[in-house]
Amino acid sequence: MPNVNRQDLEALRNIVSQAHLIVSTEPLIAGGIERARELLDAAERLADFLLADSQVAASRRS
């Protein structure tokens, strides 16, 4: 993953960790499901971006 830096991966991990904390809370906090959904949507978009960026970099090397 040539163009993926540590900060990108740390951001992704933090987003997933926040979502995990929300769904692990008993009882579930008010608005927790909506916030977890927002966080997971953001994580998915970031992962897609990182994957696309690494694919572009790999195709340039070929």
Spell out the per-residue pLDDT of the chain, length 62, in tens: 456 789 999 999 999 999 999 999 999 999 999 999 999 999 999 999 999 877 666 666 66
Which two structure tokens, joined as six digits, stand for 13?
């991990």
Q: CA dist 51 to 1, 31, 41, Å?
A: 8, 30, 15
pLDDT at 57: 63
Calpha distance 14→33 (Å, rounded): 17
pTM of the model: 0.78
pLDDT at 38: 98
pLDDT at 4: 77
